[in-house]
Amino acid sequence: MASDRGRGLVAGYHAACQDARWVCDRFHEFQDLFDRRRQLERKAYATIAKEDEAVHTFHHAKSEAHLHKRLQHYEHAHHACEQAMARYDQLDLLLHLLRDALHLCSPFGRLRTVASVHSELTLLLSLIEEIDDAVLRQLLRPIRSHLEDILAPFEQAESVHAELLALIPQQLVDALVLAWHHEHLSYQSHAKQKHYHQHESQQWLNFAEGCLDNQFEPLKALVFEKLDAIVRASSLVELVNSFIRPYLNSSKGQITQETLNLIMFYHNHRRYKSGKRQGKAPIELLTGEALEADWVELLIQHTQEASQSTSLASSPPLELGSPRHEHPMPSQTLPGQAILEPSMQSDISWAPMDAEAA
């Protein structure tokens, strides 16, 4: 699992999954640096505006004394502008290099090693520290202390690389890794960049297919599966959080278990409109069974069945399962495809517990 460094979240994960690997989320590790870049960009634009204003003021001077005074003011504004633009340009370039250094593979498809990434990050962080900005030096301290955690995914990449080399020649491993890499980037890109990554991915797939013939499909699936298994970011956690957050914000602390069940039902039964899961609902990916209707129709069907039921004192919670309400066994549950519903016991007992807490 990947997450930020929230103490409760990390401690809970280690308590529940003692033998599993925890990975620090790259987005949260470097977020402050990218926020600082935006701040320096705004400051640079502000100093450009001040320099332009100083130019206009200088041209409207009448006396020689005013000309000399306003010339000094312009030179000071120009110097401040040059410094602000240089700070932003330097940080922007280094952060682009930093982003590239954190990719699992090089531009040539070779999976990166822990040693090479450690060397690149150390150099880039040193160069960022050389920028004339005291705030950046403060932001770099925690990043340096967390460097070993940041490198954890590349340990997995090294073991994956060794496993693949035992089955596939190096040149074809690089080709399939590049195909996976560009396909991965295509999901994060828009317009021309998206088409570029899709084209590059297909080109490398065509090359690998020409060399592997009948072995292409199983080996491609193997490489993609192993690379997808390397956890580098808490995208799933952030996705669920971003999905639920608007409802929590609008409720202002008045969220109920019934509302959470409704959100859960909608998320699990609505179909994706785009991406590689287009046309599929999370519950379909989890169970392998196709839904017979849209999520709204399934919700209406559920409420009608609940209202007609007289065997329970209260209506049952919204079902996670397929339209036939069959629950998958725990061993069939795949991570990252659906939000698991609370147990029946928790659904029955949540109200008194909340009442006591209130």
Q: Give CA 184 to chain center in angstroms.
A: 12
Q: Is residue 18 part of a domain?
A: no
219 and 242 belong to one structural domain: no
100 and 188 belong to one structural domain: no
274 and 223 belong to one structural domain: no
Say which residue, 62 or 312, is predicted with more confidence. Answer: 62
Q: Is residue 161 part of a domain?
A: no
What pLDDT, on a 0 to 100 scale, did the predictor assign at position 324? 47
Give the Å distances, CA to CA, from 349 to 33, 265, 277, 311, 340. 45, 20, 36, 18, 18
Residue 273 DSSP SS3: coil
User: What span, in angstroms and rounded, lies between the C-alpha atoms of 50 and 74?
Assistant: 9
Give the Å distances, CA to CA, from 280 to 243, 268, 284. 18, 10, 6
67 and 118 belong to one structural domain: yes
User: Where among 115, 150, 185 does a domain terminate?
Assistant: 150
- Average pLDDT, stretch 5-25? 66
Q: What are phi and psi of 26, to 5 degrees?
A: -65, -35
Q: Is residue 11 part of a domain?
A: no
For 298, the token pair is 């399934």
Q: Is residue 2 part of a domain?
A: no
Q: Which residues contact 51 (CB under 8 A, 6 or more apart)?
A: 74, 77, 78, 80, 81
Identify the residue whose tokens are 């287009």.
278
Q: Give CA 153 to chain center in angstroms.
A: 14
248 and 350 belong to one structural domain: yes
User: Where among 176, 199, 228 does a domain terminate?
Assistant: 228
310 and 341 belong to one structural domain: yes
83 and 139 belong to one structural domain: yes
Domain region containing 31: 27-150
pTM reported for the whole predicted model = 0.66
User: Where among 92, 122, 150 does a domain terminate?
Assistant: 150
Q: Return the minimum-mean-pLDDT range out of 72-81, 255-264, 289-298.
A: 255-264
pLDDT for residue 122 is more than 80: yes
224 and 259 belong to one structural domain: no
Say which residue, 309 or 357, is predicted with more confidence. Answer: 309
For 53, the token pair is 């204003």
3-state helix, strand, coil in the chain (%, to 5): 70, 0, 30
- Average pLDDT, stretch 319-339? 46
Mean pLDDT, the chain, whole residue set: 81
What pLDDT, on a 0 to 100 scale, did the predictor assign at position 327? 45
224 and 240 belong to one structural domain: no
- Average pLDDT, stretch 309-322? 53
What pLDDT, on a 0 to 100 scale, did the predictor assign at position 195? 94
Give the residue from 313, 317, 314, 312 showing the smallest Cα distance to 299.
Answer: 317
